[in-house]
Structure 1
Amino acid sequence: MDQAANLRRLATERDRSSASLLEPEQESSRIEGEVPAEVAEETSNEPVTTRVIAVTSGKGGVGKSTLSVNLAISIAKLGKKVLLFDGDLGLANINVLMGIIPEHNIYEVIKGKKKVQDIVISTSYGIDIIAGANGISQLANLSDTQRETFVEQLGELSGYDVMMIDTGAGVGANVIGLVMPADDILVVTTPEPTAITDAYGMIKSIVANGKEKSIKLIVNRVPSAIEAKRVADRLISISSQFLKTKVESVGFVFEENLVQKSIRSQRPHVVLYPGSKSSACMSHIAARVMNTAPAEDSIGIFGFFQKLLGIGQDSEPGMGVL
């Protein structure tokens, strides 16, 4: 090797050495100084606007609550922080499906006996729940001051990416009251003719109450993808034709004996049988729901309960039915 080549080699090695010496220093400077943009975005202290999703149905017996539990867990598996709120006033059973015995419920918060943090249950399934929300019906008896105090407490639940509400079935005032302030509405039906008719009735009630936000459809307990498409296409078509509203299908769930087994064992089927067809369906629905853009006017948990109770200037007509 000639001298020039040797010098070039030495110069190259020196430059590499200098670079290696500088890299830790530069990294240290970056850590002590400005946070990289990609990290800053993840660690931002800006408050999270919680996406409120109401899961509802036109009739009972379509598997709505079971679907709510498993969908909430499936969304949590996508890296989201999820709160599942049991809003079924008549048959509050989210905790039963998960094998959980709650010590407190929202009624105690309404009465001022407990703070909202006291009734939130952290589960082993990666989601938090508020169980047995039977006390919601008592909100109608509160004074304006008590309502505002209650809503302020619920504002402390901010920080969740998603609050999913399992509403009751049917088109009663309490159900519609929970559905209308939500960012997204998931209407659950099955291939049974009565379920399809009642699902349409629910969509009609939502439209009649002035809901212009996202209405999504899930067909549960289907024997085949073809049957699921038939049901979804029918509801989408008649909603467009007679209600002039867009309904989007976000998926279906196969009928499987494994789902009934998981219900009897009081464990979610996406946990007990993660490799099942029904669990794969739930993962697909979770991705579809979360990949759609949230409502531009999303107001989070605090705003949701304000509208629910008819508090504030931004309350819409038809709100505050409780």
Structure 2
Amino acid sequence: MAGIITITSGKGGVGKTGISLNLSLALAAEGFKVCLFDADLGLANVNILTGIYPEKDLETVISGQSSLNDILIRDYQGIDIIPGSSGVEKLADLTRAETGTLISAFLDLEAYDFFIFDTSAGISPQVLSFCMASHEIILVVTTEPTSLTDAYSMLKVLSKHGYDLPVKVIVNQVTSGKAAQKAYTRLKQTVSRFLKAKIEPLGMIAWDKNVRASVISQTPFFILFPDTAASRCIAAIAEKLIKNHGETRDLPLEFFWDACLSFLEKHHPRKDEKNNDKEIAKPDPDIRDMISHMESKLSLLIKEVGDIRQFLETHVMMTAEKEAAAGPRPKEIILDFESWLEKKQG
């Protein structure tokens, strides 16, 4: 069993993948066995930050071409990495056979103390499935209003689906502790006022020029600059997670995947069920009523336009008939003002 942590964000560009990678390394530095799952579908940001570009990913495991151990990147700076990439996108359309293959693959995986999922930004079915199956979610935000708004949207959707555990919040790229506290307080007040969701502060990460340097060098800043401000912040967050490790319920990976895929099955029907469904899906009653109302309005509008057109045509014909009955028009008299003025003056 492992402490499963899903790290997500409502908005892209907040440093979520950098936190996932460096936090994994910080936990490993304390002697814990850690596996990082790159679930950021299509972007493969972990590859960019580490300079590792695997030939196989989760999709080859789902198709049965590879085992999970075949694609596992072992002992990168003390952690293991599973490249999800295109395979994560395919999760929403797994057949029952592929679901069984995936769950069986994780049964053969060795034990970890922490299993960290780095999701895509936003609220796609895949992202939500990882979050709903986790006992611990870390939500990454910045002090920007758009980041806080998107984080609120994420919490709103989680709350709608019944997630009732506290969501931990990390405020990233902050220039001061006061700025981080202000951003968190703003989010906390809005959430408390409108949602049933619960959030808790996990920590902040200072804006640090060495973070950019580490991205360029494709080496995590926790390794390249262990004493920089961002690394010290990551170490403090890791210490909190270790302290609370016994308080959160560890979960067997096969149970996690079962919960994850069950959520997808419920909210995003599987491919084989779509193909075998002979009945035409019934439209949503609200949408049907709306369309019916629009059709009625459109029919009325077309009728009114026709009436107006008929009235105009009749009016034009009647006017023409009156003018014809009145006889020829009198000749137009041209007034030459200049000639009249000269005649008067002469």
Q: TM-score, normalised by structure 1?
A: 0.79
Residue 114 of structure 2 corresponds to 162
**Kept in 2: contact 1:309–1:321 (CA 8 A):** no
Deviations 1:71-129 (A, max 9, x none): 11111112111100011113122122112121321111011111110111013311000
Q: Deviations over 1:100-159 (max 9, x none)?
A: 121321111011111110111013311000124321222344331331122011122240
Maintained 8 Å contact 1:209/1:318: no
Specify the SS of the correspondent of 2:187. helix
Residue in structure 2 matched with residue 110 of structure 1 by the alignment: 62
Task: Choose the corresponding residue for 2:235, options 283, 289, 306.
Answer: 283
**Structure 1 stretch displaced more, 219-228 or 175-184:** 175-184
> Number of residues paired by the alignment?
270
Amino acid at match of 2:49: L
- Answer 1 or 2: which has greater helix percent: 2
Q: Is the 8 A contact 2:128 2:158 kept in 1?
A: yes
Question: Does the CA contact (< 8 Å) of 2:62 and 2:101 recur in 1?
Answer: no
1:47-86 aligned at under 5 Å gives the runs 49-86=1-38
Aligned-partner residue type, residue 158 of structure 2: I
Q: Quick one: which amino acid aligns to residue 164 of structure 1? A: I
Residue 100 (1) aligns with residue 28 (2): no
- Alpha-carbon distance between aligned partners in 2 of 1:230 and 1:213, rounded to the nearest angstrom: 23
User: Which residue of 148, 172, 175 corresponds with 1:196?
Assistant: 148
Letter in 1 for 2:232: A
Question: In angstroms, what is the RMSD of aligned CA positions?
Answer: 2.0
What residue in structure 2 maps to residue 173 of structure 1?
125
Q: Could you give the per-residue CA deviations for residues 278-304 of structure 1, whole angstroms, max 9, x where no partner exists?
A: 100000111112222556654321111
TM-score (norm 2): 0.74
Q: Which amino acid aligns with 1:155?
A: L
For 1:6-45, list aligned pairs within 5 A: none
From 172, 176, 183, the counterpart of 2:135:
183
The one-letter code matched in structure 2 to 1:270 is F
Matched residue of 2:14: which SS?
A: coil
Contact 1:95 1:132 (C-alpha < 8 Å) held by counterparts? no
Whether contact under 8 Å (2:57, 2:84) holds in the other structure is: yes
Cα distance in structure 2, aligned partners of 1:185 and 1:321: 25
Per-residue CA shift, 1:30-86, capped at 9, x if unaligned? xxxxxxxxxxxxxxxxxxx11110000001010111111111111111211110001
The one of 253, 270, 274 aligned to 1:301: 253
Q: Gaps spanning 5+ residues in structure 2: where?
A: 271-346
CA contact (8 A) 2:172 2:207 kept: yes
Given that 1:85 and 1:164 are in contact with CA atoms closer than 8 Å, whether structure 2 keeps it comes out as: yes
Task: Please give the alpha-carbon distance, in whole angstroms, between the structure 2 residues aligned to 1:295 and 1:320.
Answer: 32
The one-letter code sitting in structure 2 at the alignment partner of 1:224 is S
CA radius of gyration, larger in: 2
Question: Aligned-pair distance for 1:306?
Answer: 0.8
Q: What is the letter of the counterpart of residue 138 of structure 2? A: L
Asked if residue 269 in structure 1 is aligned to residue 231 in structure 2, the reply is no
Tell me the distance in 2 between the aligned counterparts of 1:319 and 1:162: 28
- Structure 1 pair 228/203, CA: closer, same or farther in 2 (3 Å)? same
Q: 1:183, 1:128 → 2: CA distance?
A: 21
- Alpha-carbon distance between aligned partners in 1 of 2:66 and 2:237, rounded to the nearest angstrom: 35
SS at match of 1:79: coil
3-state SS in 2 of match to 1:123: strand
